[in-house]
Amino acid sequence: MKVEKLIKAKMEREYFFIKGRCPIDAKYFIKQIEVGIKQEDNKSYTTNVIGEMTDYKYFLNDKKFMKFFMPVLDLLDTQKFQDFSSYRLQEAWGFKEGFTNYTKQHQHLPAVLSGAVQLSNHEQVLEFPQINETLESKPGNFAIFSSFLLHKNKRSVVDKPRYGLSFNIYNEFNKVFNKDTQGA
10 assigned to some structural domain: no
CA distances from 56 to 84, 99, 121 (A): 24, 23, 23
182 assigned to some structural domain: no
151 assigned to some structural domain: yes
Predicted confidence at residue 176, as pLDDT, reads: 42
> Residue 182: pLDDT above 80?
no
As a whole number of Å, the end-to-end CA separation of the chain is 37
Of 145, 126, 152, 129, the C-alpha closest to 137 is 126
C-beta contacts of 178-181 below 8 A and 24+ residues apart:
178/90, 178/110, 178/111, 181/56, 181/90, 181/91, 181/110, 181/111
Predicted confidence at residue 38, as pLDDT, reads: 97
Q: Strand 162-171 relative to strand 133-137: parallel, antiparallel, unpaired?
A: unpaired
105 assigned to some structural domain: yes
Question: DSSP assignment, residue 149?
Answer: S
> Residue 57: pLDDT above 70?
yes
6 assigned to some structural domain: no
AA letter at 113: L
Tell me the pTM: 0.86
66 assigned to some structural domain: yes
Share of the chain above pLDDT 70, in %: 89
* Mean pLDDT computed over 13-41: 94
Q: For the chain, what is the domain count?
A: 1
Q: How far apart are CA 140 and CA 89, in angstroms?
A: 19
Predicted confidence at residue 81, as pLDDT, reads: 59
Strand 133-137: give its sheet, edge to edge.
Answer: 49-50, 102-106, 151-153, 122-128, 133-137
Residue 115's domain is classified under what CATH number?
Answer: 2.60.120.620
* Mean pLDDT computed over 22-51: 96
> Residue 49: pLDDT above 90?
yes
Phi, psi torsion values for 135, nearest 5 degrees: -125, 115
Instruction: Please give the sequence-ordered ranges of beta strands (E in DSSP) within 39-180, or none if there are none.
Output: 49-50, 52-53, 87-97, 102-106, 113-118, 122-128, 133-137, 141-146, 151-153, 162-171
183 assigned to some structural domain: no
Range(s) of the domain holding residue 46: 17-171
> Residue 20: pLDDT above 60?
yes
Q: What is the pLDDT of residues 79-129, one digit of tens each?
A: 665 555 677 889 999 999 999 999 999 999 999 999 999 999 999 999 999
58 assigned to some structural domain: yes
